[in-house]
Amino acid sequence: MSTDHVVVIGGGVMGSSLAYWLTRLAPKLAVTVIERDPSYEYASSALSAASIRQQFSTPANIRISQASIEFLRNVGTELGIGDDRPDIQLREHGYLYLADAGGMARLRRAHELQRALGADVALLDPAELGGTFAWLNTADLSLGALGLRGEGWFDGYALLTAFGRKARSQGARYVKADVCGFDVDAGRVTAVLTSAGARIDCTHAVNAAGPWSRAIAALAGVDLPVFARRRSVYLISCPTDLKPFPLLIDPSGFWIRPDGNRFIAGFSPIDDPDDAPLTPDYAAFESHLWPLLSHRIPAFEAARLERAWAGYFEMNTFDHNAILGTHRSLENLLFMNGFSGHGMQQSPIIGRAVAELILHGRFISLDLSDLLFVRVETNRPLHEANVIG
């Protein structure tokens, strides 16, 4: 193994988690992370809402979250360097999925699966919802699902930097460069090419380029169904004290959660072109989001928009789930892409899973075969119903 060299394209939370796991599990392995923008100005990992939930509709995603929350709870130990222990400010205040009459059956189905897999999620009828969350308008609601443990939010940028620092301390090398091609020989990538003219030999290459992963895949002749879709995040203040307040998912599609003593919120736009410029859609706050917010939380009629930002979801339009492992055309180019808005929370476990694929040729800790690229190649989608925003 000591002559092996893994080159990871993209040093966001996925690439950095992978670099951390590879250097932890195989300390003699050479690992190079190629990142074109070490400031992470446009990287999803720096623009994320960084929330974690157990409330998914597929077993693979629920199991990933169960393992991820354990990692996040212990992040100070996992990613500490000497006495320097990262603090990602994990807050386990739950997710509250709300359903109207039309969405009740789906919420119940997902809840049954979550409970069967051991997730601590409770169903609340409208009276219970109103009793627990006095600020909530329950008039048009039929049901809510509240995560009691293992759900909440954290500082995603702190997790990103903690992975990177720990990976470096274990020997990973970060290089600032823009990947622009591959050398391929007999179905194997032999080198990663950069726009500065460098040729970096490798035994494995990994596409961890987030919203830009489709372009990286295309350089290797692979059609990856992952598209960059802009999502605006609105930072809002509200004069009324509203506690307790979980991450709320409204039947209309918006989400909102506390952020310190303010709130952040967003929604999934109907008109959703690829690669829209990363300027937030301010107009949509007034015309779309605010009326919905004020309907669900009447105190928000007095809310104020403080500022907004936008980042890209790396949307897998095939089935909204992670795409992992190799494509049949190249045996040593691995993919870790397509997280469709839930990659931050999955990063600790996806990094470990892809490291295991590289080191052992199979998953060891958690079987994530359902997420392999082969399902896309053979047109067997694994649909995730609970995609947010």
Ligand X SMILES: Cc1cc2nc3c(=O)[nH]c(=O)nc-3n(C[C@H](O)[C@H](O)[C@H](O)COP(=O)(O)OP(=O)(O)OC[C@H]3O[C@@H](n4cnc5c(N)ncnc54)[C@H](O)[C@@H]3O)c2cc1C
Which of the stretches 35-43, 95-103, 112-120, 281-289 binds ligand X when contact is defined by CB under 6 A? 35-43
Region of 38 (left: φ > 0; alpha: ψ -120 to 50; beta: rest) is: alpha
Among residues 37, 100, 183, 275, the one that binds ligand X under rule CB under 6 A: 37
Taking residues 157 to 186 in sequence order and writing x for each that binds ligand X by CB under 6 A, - otherwise, the string is: ---------------------xx-------
Which residues in 329-368 contact ligand X (CB under 6 A)? 339, 341-345
Look up residue 222 and give its DSSP letter: -
Of 13 and 189, nearer to ligand X (C-beta) is: 13
DSSP codes joined into one string, 311-343: EEEEEETTTSS-EEEE-TT-TTEEEEE--TT-H
**Could you give phi then psi for residue 228, rounded to 5 degrees?**
-85, 115
Return the bridge partners of 228, or none. 314
Smallest distance, ligand X to C-beta of residue 11, A: 6
Site for ligand X contains 92 (CB under 6 A): no
Of 138 and 280, nearer to ligand X (C-beta) is: 280
Site for ligand X contains 32 (CB under 6 A): no
Smallest distance, ligand X to C-beta of residue 215, A: 7
Site for ligand X contains 189 (CB under 6 A): no
Separation of alpha carbons 344 and 65, rounded Å: 11
Among residues 12, 86, 251, 280, the one that binds ligand X under rule CB under 6 A: 12
User: Which pair of tokens denotes residue 245?
Assistant: 């307040």
The rounded Cα 213 to chain-centroid distance in angstroms is 14
Which residues in 193-222 contact ligand X (CB under 6 A)? 208-212, 216
Which residues in 306-325 contact ligand X (CB under 6 A)? 311-314
Tell the residue number behind the tokens 């994320």, with chain if given. Answer: 48
Smallest distance, ligand X to C-beta of residue 354, A: 11
DSSP codes joined into one string, 114-158: HHHTT--EEEE-HHHHHHH-TT---TT--EEEEE-SS-EE--HHH
Binding interface with ligand X (CB under 6 A): 9-15, 34-37, 40, 43-45, 47-51, 178-179, 208-212, 216, 231, 233, 311-314, 339, 341-345
